[in-house]
Amino acid sequence: MEKTKLFGVALHFLMPLMAATVMCSLTATPTHADGLIVSLAPLSDVAAGSTGNSFDVLLTNTSGSAVSIEAFFFEVLSSSSDVTFTDATTASGAPYIFGADSLFGPDIIGLGSTATDLNASDLDLLGSTALEAGATVGLGHVLFNVSPTAPTEDVSFNLAGFPGTSLADDLGNDIPIQSLIGGQLGINGAATTVPEPSSLALLATGLGFFACLGFRRTVRQAALE
């Protein structure tokens, strides 16, 4: 059991290197798969200072045949520094692609992730998973917080291209992705209020007004005399 765990951790460190190897290999043959789409689930507006916000990364097979997938990578970039990515897990709303056979889950966030650039990856522990035609599965559940000083603004989340977002079969061959679809949400910034004048300030203003009236009366009476 311990050996299996250590093996999984070691693989997790090697995942970015595996992606680079696939990208640079001249002999790797892409697996034929038309109609694979990686997208973000619809995003809801959030408030400045909110924590534990989330969205899902989804994979949809719009082709006419099943596709066998052994591993995946995805990378999400935020357009605003007011958003801080905190984690990526297997707890997606849609059924997770590898189910209970996730090698790295439940936390699949990768090394090198930053506040605005999150990467994640996973492998099927028992072998490749067949994604049937027309099926949609979850690749990950991304969590983020919003700065309490964030203004009202629109934030874009974009999926990075290959190899940041990519799929592989059981031989390590790249499985082409037809399209990457990001998303956008709005941040409701903290309301800015104009402070009301204090009672002391109002009293001082009133006293000044009456003093001015008294001075004018004195000057007028002196002129009449």
Domain ranges of the chain: 2-188, 197-225
pLDDT at position 33, please?
Answer: 57
Tell me how many degrees the CA angle 136-87-175 measures, rounded to the nearest 5. 40
Q: What is the pLDDT of residues 84-99, one digit of tens each?
A: 999 999 999 999 999 9
CATH code of the domain made up of 2-188: 2.60.40.680
> Is the pLDDT reported for residue 177 higher than 60?
yes
Q: What is the pLDDT of residues 8-41, one digit of tens each?
A: 444 444 454 444 444 433 334 445 557 999 999 9
